[in-house]
Structure 1
Amino acid sequence: MLVQALAAASFSDVQDAAISLALSEAVYQQLDEGGIARATAAIPALLKQYPATLHLEPLRIRWEHSRIGYQVLVAEGGGALYIAFMGTKRRRDLLTNANAVQAPLWPTAGAGAAEDAPAAHRGFLWRARSVNGRRYLQEAQRRGLRLVFCGHSLGGAVAQLCALDLLQAAQGSGAPPPRVSSVGFATPAVGNAALAERVAARGWGGRFVTYLLPEDAIGAFFNRSWPAGPAAHGRAAPSAKSGQRGLLMRWLWNRECMRPCWQSPWSSTRRCWHQRCSLGAQGLQASAP
Structure 2
Amino acid sequence: MSENILRMEDVTMQFGGVVAVNNLSLEVNQGEIVALIGPNGAGKTTAFNCITGVYEPTNGRVSFQGEAMVENYPQGKMAKSYAGENQGKYTQKLAPTPDAITRRGIARTFQNIRLFSALSVFDNVLIAKHMRAKQNFLSATFRLNKAEEKRMREESMALLEEQGLAHLKDEVAGSLPYGLQRRLEIARALATSPKLLLLDEPAAGMNPQETQELTDFIKQIRKEYDLTVFMIEHHMDLVMQISDRIYVLDFGRLIAQGTPAEVQSNQRVIDAYLGVADDAEN
How does the TM-score come out when normalised to structure 1?
0.33
Structure with the bigger RCO (C-alpha within 8 Å, sep 6+) is: 2
Structure (1/2) with the larger strand percentage: 2
Of the two, which has the highest radius of gyration?
Answer: 2
How does the TM-score come out when normalised to structure 2?
0.33
